[in-house]
Amino acid sequence: MSTEASHARLSIGRIFGIDLRVDWSWIFIFILLTWNLATVFSRWHRDWSAVGALAVAAATTVAFFGCVLLHELAHSVVAMRFGMRVRSITLFLFGGVSDIEKEPPSAKAEFLMAIGGPITSIALGLVFVAFTAAMAPTSVSDIEGAMGAFARLGPVTTLVAWLGPINILIGLFNLIPGFPLDGGRVLRSILWSVTGNLRTSTIWATMTGQAIGWLFIGCGIALTFGARLPFVGTGVVSGLWLAFIGWFLRGAAQRANTRLALDDVLAGMTVDQLMKMDGPVATPALSIGSLVHEHLIPGEDRALPVVQGGTLVGLVSVSDVRNVPPDRWSTTSVASVMQGVASLTVTNPTQSLSSAFEQLAKRNIDQLPVVADGKLVGMLRRRDVSRWLELAWKPTDLAMNRPPKPAERSARPQREGFPPGDQLHRSV
């Protein structure tokens, strides 16, 4: 699967310049899958101890997510070959997700990038199945014979025997033609090649994705009432899980459709058109007391850029102030609590507004300092972009497959930058 995620994550390393991360939800699925596999392996190997079965189950779960990581790396390597930057790969509740900077440059790139993941999973599955067959060549013709063959497998072969079919199933599942699954992206690439229009192709692919999501939800509900599906079975647990997957797919497809609409509304716009100029700033020497009483209480901003001689040196926010007891506000300077410029995400006046707004949303922050030649020239606030979307977004444009006209560039005069901070405030 190749979509985007924005939850709390733990970094576990880098490969090919790509950050590898684990989402908090992965811990839940790791525990659930390990527990389930321990139960399965205990049935296969009645002579194994509970601890032994649990250890092999945990190793199998780790190996499984290693396969998921290879699936996502296949997407990422192809993406990089076509000049797309891959920021990170995150393991989460439903597997993995690649955070790719932009849309593919062509239908061919989209197709190859999307198909690479499922092919990798299916190939891994076939290799594991072949290995299992070589290590346990016993021919079986009934259920009892199959269980006997499983019982004779060692720990490593047991691990591989489970990974084979599951990787094949993952590859086939991801080929379901519902965006944002890989199959949905394959569908979009084919439609893109036929129509020559990425926007139209995305609309059709996301609509298909939402329809498949609703189908999964309906089938899940049916399973809870006794219906039976091949490879899924029946029962409340299977039904709820299938409905949950359908809910996730429907929501992801809907978000992709919304993202398309946002890109349309913000098309052609740059940061300088909506950034706030001449706003309040703080200096490193300003006291927390002055910051609170002169700006945070009477003003509407929850964070202020920290400027020295016109150069951005950091950002101080309400959360930074909370770390200081009120009785120390008058003797504590902004410099001692602010976030340094090296840790900040910044933008520039000519960056596309769409990509800047994506940064705001992905990092869940309220503002981006706008910097040109090292000087602070403005602040792009999330609420200003949201207000523009509220005013300019016409849902009928998307429904009628008609991209809105780009906004006219603001005629307001541009300034070289904010006044130097040391001319605005003094510490007390």
> If you write DSSP's letter for every residue of 107-151 in order, what string do you get?
HHHHHHHHHHHHHHHHHHHHHHHHHHHHH------SHHHHHHHHH
Q: What amino acid is encoded at 28 in this protein?
A: F
Q: Determine if the pTM surpasses 0.85.
A: no
Inter-residue contact 118 to 70 (CB < 8 Å): no
Q: Is the pLDDT of residue 140 over 80?
A: no
| pLDDT value for 320 | 87
The average pLDDT across 262-286 equals: 82
Does 339 lie in the same domain as 250? no
The average pLDDT across 215-235 equals: 79
Does 399 lie in the same domain as 332? yes
Does 358 lie in the same domain as 314? yes
Does 286 lie in the same domain as 241? no
Under the banding of pLDDT at 50, 70 and 90, the label for residue 222 is confident
pLDDT in tens, 45-85: 888 888 988 999 999 999 998 999 999 999 989 988 888 88
Average pLDDT, the chain: 79
Question: What is the tally of structural domains in the chain?
Answer: 2
| pLDDT value for 232 | 64
Does 233 lie in the same domain as 333? no
| pLDDT value for 393 | 65
Task: Considering only residues 220 and 363, tell me which one the structure prediction assigns the higher pLDDT.
Answer: 220
CA–CA gap between residue 408 and residue 398 (Å, rounded): 20
| pLDDT value for 147 | 52
Half-sphere exposure of 152 (CA within 13 A, CB side): 13
The average pLDDT across 129-135 equals: 84
Strand partners, 390: none
The range of the structural domain enclosing residue 184 comes to 9-266
Does 276 lie in the same domain as 249? no
pLDDT in tens, 229-242: 766 666 777 778 78
Does 195 lie in the same domain as 311? no
Structural domain ending residue among the three candidates 213, 247, 266: 266
Does 179 lie in the same domain as 248? yes
| pLDDT value for 427 | 30
Under the banding of pLDDT at 50, 70 and 90, the label for residue 399 is very low
| pLDDT value for 58 | 93
| pLDDT value for 121 | 94
Sheet holding 18-23, edge to edge: 9-15, 18-23, 86-92, 95-100
pLDDT in tens, 312-347: 888 888 888 888 888 888 888 888 888 888 888 888
CA–CA gap between residue 387 and residue 265 (Å, rounded): 12
The average pLDDT across 402-425 equals: 44
In this structure, is residue 304 part of a structural domain?
Answer: yes
Under the banding of pLDDT at 50, 70 and 90, the label for residue 30 is confident
In this structure, is residue 416 part of a structural domain?
Answer: yes
Phi, psi of 257 (to 5 degrees): -65, -40
How far the first Cα of the chain sits from its last, in Å, is: 55
In this structure, is residue 428 part of a structural domain?
Answer: no
In this structure, is residue 216 part of a structural domain?
Answer: yes
In this structure, is residue 183 part of a structural domain?
Answer: yes
Give residue for tokens 């904010």.
Answer: 418
Does 404 lie in the same domain as 282? yes
The average pLDDT across 286-299 equals: 86
Q: What amino acid is encoded at 216 in this protein?
A: F
In this structure, is residue 302 part of a structural domain?
Answer: yes
In this structure, is residue 1 part of a structural domain?
Answer: no
Does 356 lie in the same domain as 250? no
Tell me the CATH number at 309. Answer: 3.10.580.10
| pLDDT value for 136 | 67
pLDDT in tens, 373-387: 878 888 888 888 888
Does 332 lie in the same domain as 415? yes
In this structure, is residue 163 part of a structural domain?
Answer: yes
Structural domain ending residue among the three candidates 266, 283, 299: 266
| pLDDT value for 414 | 42
Structural domain ending residue among the three candidates 266, 284, 305: 266
Does 104 lie in the same domain as 36? yes
142-156, 166-180, 223-237: segment of lowest average pLDDT: 142-156
Inter-residue contact 69 to 14 (CB < 8 Å): no
Inter-residue contact 306 to 322 (CB < 8 Å): no
Q: Is the pLDDT of residue 307 over 70?
A: yes
CB atoms within 10 A of CB 121: 27
The average pLDDT across 9-26 equals: 80
The average pLDDT across 192-210 equals: 88
CA–CA gap between residue 297 and residue 320 (Å, rounded): 15
